[in-house]
Amino acid sequence: MEAAVRKLAVRLPEVTEQVDGFGHTSFRVSDKPFVIMGEGGADGPALSFKVLKTTQEILLAQEHFYKTPYIGQHGWVSIRAQHIADYDMLADYLLEGYLCAAPKRLVKQVQANAQAQ
């Protein structure tokens, strides 16, 4: 999971990787996290990512997704690594999180690049 998530996150402009004191790896834009990987205890590693509130509601209605402890009220959703079946769909959620966290100039840049493709 870690290598796949890293590959998806660092392809976006100005993303940095940071490991906190608890060993959680986060990917950030303008020092704002949009995805966090960490140990999930006995259930294995977990992936948390920021999404729009409407997307959060949709994901929480699905099996395996849950509201991220402590930060879920801000649009964060988590899933255990063993339940990630589709990294293409995950890429869409990570992009959404990036766009939520990125400054407007980077949002415009990413949107312009997407339209050009």
Residue ranges in the chain whose pLDDT is less than 70? 40
Specify the pTM: 0.92
pLDDT digits (tens, 9 = 90+) for 8-17: 999 999 999 9
State residue 24's pLDDT score. 93
State residue 39's pLDDT score. 76
| Separation between Cα atoms, residue 50 and residue 7, nearest integer Å | 17
- Residue position matching structure tokens 């796949």: 4
Q: For the domain covering 2-110, report its CATH number.
A: 3.90.1150.30
